[in-house]
Chain A
Amino acid sequence: MLGVITGFIDELRAAGVPVSMVEAIDGMRAVEAIEIGERVALRETLRATLIKNQRHERAFDTAFDVYFSTVPLPDSTPIEEGSRPDLPPPDRGDGSERAPFDIDALLDDLLQALARLDEEAMRRGARTAVDELAGMEPGRPVGGTYYLYRTLRRLDLADLEARLIEALMEDEDLSEFDQRLLREEIETRLERLRQEIEEEIRRRLVADRGRDAVARTLRRPLIEDIDLMHATTRDLQEMEAAIGPLTRKLAARLARRRRKRAGRLDFRRTMRKSLATGGVPAEPQFRHPRPHRPEVWLLCDISGSMATFSRFTLQFTHAMATHFSKLRSFAFVDTIDEVTDFFGAGVDFGSALQRVTTEAEVVWLDGHSDYGNSLETFNTTYGRQLTPRTTVIITGDARNNYRPPRDKVLGEIAEAARALVWLNPEPRAYWDTGDSAMSHYAAHCTSVHEVRTLRQLEQFIEELTLPGTRASQNA
C-alpha cells in the first residue's frame, strides 16, 4: 500500500499539483488511522491531506481513480490488479461462441436503476455495458475516450433519457414547471451514469496496462497551466473562479505603499484617551492613513487572433471592476473605444461581453489589429486624462499586421502615467517574429510580461512592484 501511495503522490506532482514533503507524511499518517479497505474513506483522507486547493481536485480525482481503482467501494466485490477478472478474453474477436448479448435487457435494468436512483444497480449496469459494448482491446495505449464514446453510442443516452422522463412522469400528474425541474434532475442522473461508465473503463485500463501507464495517458495540465490562447470554454469557466482572488491580490499590490507608521499623531484623541490613565498618554493615537486608491486603465486587444485570450482578459476586467472603483477599460482592434460602462456594478459577464462585441466601436478600417492607430487614437482622446497615479495595463500580442508601430505615442503615454505594463500572451520566443512589434513597444514600458497561463498571471501579480506615485513620494 505504501508503494501505491508514493506512486500516487509522484503522479500528482507530475501533474503539477504541489504536494510538499510534510503533506505527504501527513497523508501517510492519516491513512494509518483509517480503514484502508474502503475507497471513499481513503479518497477523502488523501484529498484532505494532499490537496490544498480546489483547482487541483480534478487532477486528484483522475489520478485517484487510476491508482486506487482496485480498492473496493463499500458494497461491491474487489478487483485484483493484474487478474483482469472482468476483461473479456483477448480472443473474443468472433463473438459467435457466446450467447448473443441482449441490449434491451440492459437498457431496462439501467432504466430501473436510474428511476430508483439505485447506485449499486447503476454500477452493475455500467459494468455490463462496458463488458459488452466497449469492445476493449487489451494492450492498446489509449486513454479510454474512444471506448467511452463507443459504449455511449450503443447505449443511446438520449433515448434512455426520453424513456426515463416518460417513466417518471407517468407516476404523477405534474405541472409544466415540475416537469422541467424533473427533466433537469434526470440530466444529472444520466451524468452520474456516464461517470460510472467512464470510471469502469478506466478501471479496466488500469488492470490491463498498469497504473503508471494509464496515469500518464490521462494526465492533463492543471487549470493554471493551460495556454490561454487555446483554452476551451469549459477551461475558461473554471478559470473564472480563480480570477477573483487574483484581482483582489492585484488590487492590494497596486495600493501598497512603502511601509510607514499608521499616520500622523492625533494629538486631540491622545489627550482625550490619556484622561483614563490619569493624564499619562499611555496610548498614543494616530490618524488613520488615507487609503491609496489605485487608478487602473486596462487596454485590451480584442481582435480575432486574440479571441480566446481577450475573452479571458475581459473576464479579468470584469472581476477587476468590482475591486477598483477607478478602473477604466478600453478595447481595441484597429481603433480604440472605452468600454468601462459595460462593466458597471451588477452587470454579469455574459451581457457585458455581448455589449463589448456589438456596441463598442473598435473597428475603423478593416478589423485587423492596428496597434499604432489604436494607441494614437487613445492618446489624442484620453491621453490628457492620464495622471501620475494611473497605471496603464495593455494586453495584446503586439502583432501589428506590418503596419507602422508608431511606438513614440506609447512613450508619451508612459510619460504621463505612473506605470505602463504590457502583458503578452505569446511565448517570449515568438516575440518580434513575423509582424510582432513587441520590442518597439517594450522599450517604453515599465515592465513587459509573458502571460500565457493563469500561473504566469499569478506570478506577474506576485512580483509586481511599481514606482510609487508622485503624491506618496512627496509625503
Chain B
Amino acid sequence: MNLESPRSVADALRSVDYLPDDRISQVVFLANRLDKPILVEGPAGVGKTELAKSLARITGRDLIRLQCYEGLDEAKALYEWNYKKQLLRIQSDVDHDWGEIEQDIFSEEFLLTRPLLEAIRSEAPVVLLIDEVDRVEVETEALLLEILSDFQVSIPELGTMAARTQPIVVLTSNNTRELSEALKRRCLFLHIDYPDAQREQEILAARVPGLSEHLAAQVARVARSIRSLDLKKAPSVSETIDWARTLLALSIDDVDEEILGDTLHVLLKYQTDIEKAAKELTSSPRA
C-alpha cells in the first residue's frame, strides 16, 4: 500500500475503517519515511492499539505484539536459551569435545525467540506493537532502546542480530507513569485524545453498519457531553461504539433521557460515574 503522502496514509487507513485525523496520518507518514518508531499516548480506548492493527492491515504485514506488564523481562521480551534442549544435546553426546558442543548449543537452533527478536528476525516485514509500555519498570525499558534506535538485538553468545527487514514499530502508553527520556527521544510522539463530535460520528458510521445518521450524531454528542463531566473513567471510543450497537440491537432510533438512563451502564463502568452522569444529563437543562 502506498504511504507516500499523509493524504494517501489517511485514505489507506480509511479503507480499513480507521478514521485518522490530520495528526495521526501525518505522524504515520513520517514514521514510515524516517523509519522511526511511533509512541502513541492517550486515554484508554481511543484507538491506540487499533492504529497498529490497522497499519498491519493496510500494509499487509503480520502484526507481532508484545503486551507489557510489570515484571516483564528479557527472557519474555527478547529471547531465551532453550535450556532443556541444550541439556538433552549435552547428554546425548558425551563423546564429543566440550568446545565443539559449546559451539553447538549456543546456536540459533537453541534460541527461543520472543516477540522483539521475532520481529527483528522475520523474513517478511512486520508491524511490531509494544503495548502499554508504561507498565514495565524503568529498568526494563532499557531493553527496548537498542531495538528502537538501531533495529537490532545483541546476544552475547551470538553477536548482534540486525533486522532483516525494516519493521514499523508502534508503542502505546496510557501515561500511568513518565517514560524515560531515552525512550521518548527515539520515538515520534503522538498524543491521541478523544475525537471531536464530528469525527466520532464518522467513526460510528464506519464501525456500526446500519446506524442512522441521526442516531450517530446523537450518540457522538452524548459522548462528548459526558466526557466534559468530571468522571473517574470517561467513556472511550470503543464504549461509544458498544453503546451505538446496543441502541441498534434494541431498535431504538431516537435517544431520549429515559433510554439514556437505562443504557448508561454500557458507556460508564463505575456506579458513582453512572449516578453522576444520570443526574447531570437527565435533569432540567443548565441555565
Name A residues whose Cβ lies closer than 8 Å to a Cβ of B.
Answer: 18, 20, 22-23, 26, 29-30, 33-34, 40-41, 44-45, 47-49, 51-54, 57, 117, 175-185, 188, 244-245, 248-249, 252, 276-278, 280, 282-283, 346-350
Contact = CB atoms under 8 A, between A and B. Distances in A.
Given A41-B6, A49-B188, A52-B189, A348 B276 contact: yes
Contacts, number: 120
B100 interface: no
B166 interface: no
Interface residues of B, number: 54
Nearest to B83: A282
Main SS of chain B's interface residues? helix
A23 B221 contact: no
Given A52-B184, A347-B272, A348-B276, A185 B221 contact: yes
Nearest to B28: A48
Main SS of chain A's interface residues? helix
A181 B225 contact: yes
A26 B91 CA distance: 53
Interface of B: 6, 22-23, 26-27, 29-30, 33-34, 36, 39, 41, 83-84, 87, 91, 137, 175-178, 181, 184-185, 187-191, 196-198, 218, 221-222, 224-225, 228, 230-232, 254-257, 260, 270-272, 276, 281-282, 285-286
B94 to A, nearest CB: 13
Contacts of A117: 198
Nearest to A244: B176
A184 B224 contact: yes
Nearest to B91: A278
A39 to B, nearest CB: 10
Contact of B197 (A52, A179, A188): A188
A138 B175 CA distance: 44
10 contacts: A34-B30, A41-B26, A44-B22, A117-B198, A180-B285, A181-B221, A181-B225, A183-B285, A184-B225, A249-B178
A23 B185 contact: yes
Given A188-B197, A277-B83, A282-B87, A45 B30 contact: yes
A48 B23 CA distance: 9
Given A30-B34, A184-B224, A248-B176, A54 B41 contact: yes
B83 A29 contact: no
A48 B30 CA distance: 9
Contacts of B272: 346-348
Given A48-B27, A348-B232, A178 B218 contact: yes
